[in-house]
Amino acid sequence: MDAIHCFFNLLAMNIPFFHIFDLPMNQSLPQSSTRILSIDLLRGLVMVLMALDHVRDFFHSEAFVDDPLNLATTTPALYFTRWITHFCAPVFVFLSGISAFLSGTRKTKNDQSLFLIKRGLWLILVEFTLVTFGWTFNPFFNIFVMQVIWAIGVSMIALGIMVHLPLKAIGVISILLITGHNVLDYAEAEIHGQAGFLWDALHRGHFTLYPFWRNHAFLIVYPLIPWMGIMGLGYCFGTMYTSAFDTTKRIKILLATGLGLLLGFVILRWFNNYGDPHPWTEQASSGLTFLSFLDVTKYPPSLAFSSIMLGPALLFLAFTESWNNRYIKPLLIFGKVPFFYYIVHIYLIHVLCVAVFFFTGHSVSEIASGETPFLFRPREFGYSLLIVYFIWIAVVAGLYYPCKKYLEYKLKHKTGWSSYL
């Protein structure tokens, strides 16, 4: 367990991250005087990358044939097309935690708690209705998909309960959830994957189908424990974005913590005995060995996964602190309406898939293939990776105007239902 000792020794170092707990949490905190554009910029960037992954799901010819991270069959282009989109979920959840803190500076603790719980319940409802239908186009809802919106919803409910605790307690709980949940990997190995619904929902996931009524089932994709930790950690980082926090100090903390997480990742993977249930192995070439080293577990997000994904995100926030020019405007717009973007992009991609399905000569009898949960998306379908990139660019370009118009509407209607979308 040398990797564990090294990683926790790293956390115990007197790095500036722990100064975020110096602010008194039992008093009203000053609000941020201006919107921090680096947060919107990072969120917008991961939303664009997310669209790439989902376009690949619907349009790449090998999306339902093979794993793009399978070192025996993948190519560097395909591998990194999938790997780079791993940043999306952890960064989005982390930034949701920051946003939860900042919105709470304008509320009492009780109001903040109630808002987070209500919003969490709303997100779970949307996941099982609007989002599930967008993915499947199945009017009978034979499969209810438990993906990232579900995980964010439950994490918000948990955060809504935790906000009554001192900030240090939230930070400790969050760090323990992120760094300690891989202990459960050993128990999972002993039961050979026969975990049960509750265990899978909390930790294992692994795209497991659980029938619950006639021809209906839950598909568990995002287990909860580590995601709750990531959101809680983001909530703690939110203290740095109030007007009381010095900008220079914030940048130093982001740089030190980001570099520390990357160093922690290297230590964990090098020792290869904790932090990820799938150790890297030596391959036929140094290039493939490097890819094996980077191939960390997303479902659920392992400690190694969280480290290598959140580390660069913190560095990005540090380096883009003062960015503000017309070239980043589209990303800022996407980043300011992320949930609207998420819903619209799923439907846009799937509608395009339906159009291509019929344009390429597929028949009505092939709408439900039985091999994929998505209607109008047979297993043997799609194009090369290059075509996928062209479709992705078109999708992102098509999302700009709707997101811009919705942002204008949202700025004029800052209260009511728009606060939930």
pLDDT in tens, 331-370: 999 999 999 999 999 999 999 999 999 999 999 999 998 7
- For the entire predicted model, the pTM comes to 0.92
pLDDT in tens, 283-325: 999 999 999 999 999 999 999 999 999 999 999 999 999 898 8
Task: Please give the Cα distance from 143 to 219 (Å, whole number).
Answer: 7
Please provide the average confidence, as pLDDT, over all residues in the chain. Answer: 91
- Cβ–Cβ under 8 Å, residues 388 and 400: no
Distance (Å, whole) CA 290 – CA 83: 13
Residue among 188, 146, 169 at smallest CA distance from 302? 188
pLDDT in tens, 254-293: 999 999 999 999 999 999 999 999 999 999 999 999 999 9
Q: What is the per-residue pLDDT across 14-50, written as a single tens digit (0 to 9) for each?
A: 445 555 555 444 344 445 446 789 999 999 999 999 9
**Quick one: average pLDDT of 363-378?**
91
- Judged by average pLDDT, the poorest of 94-98, 138-142, 367-371 is 367-371
For 172-197, write each residue's pLDDT tens digit: 999 999 999 999 988 877 776 567 89
Per-residue confidence (pLDDT) for residue 34, from 0 to 100? 62
Nearest-CA neighbor of 267 among 300, 227, 307, 233? 307
Query: Residue 186's pLDDT is what?
Result: 84
Residue 125: φ, ψ to 5°:
-60, -45
Give the model's pLDDT for residue 369.
82
* Predicted confidence (pLDDT) at residue 129 exceeds the cutoff of 80: yes
**Backbone φ, ψ for residue 108 (5° rounding):** -75, 165
**403 contacts 334 by C-beta, under 8 angstroms:** yes
Q: Convert the pLDDT of each residue in 210-221 to its tens digit.
A: 999 889 999 999
Looking at residue 103, its pLDDT comes to: 92
What is the DSSP secondary structure assignment for residue 241, as one 8-state letter?
G
For residues 204 and 221, give the distance between their C-alpha atoms in angstroms, rounded to a whole number: 9
CA 244 to CA 19: how far, in whole Å? 13
State the angle between helix axes of 303-319 and 37-59 in degrees (0 to 180), rounded to the nearest 10: 130
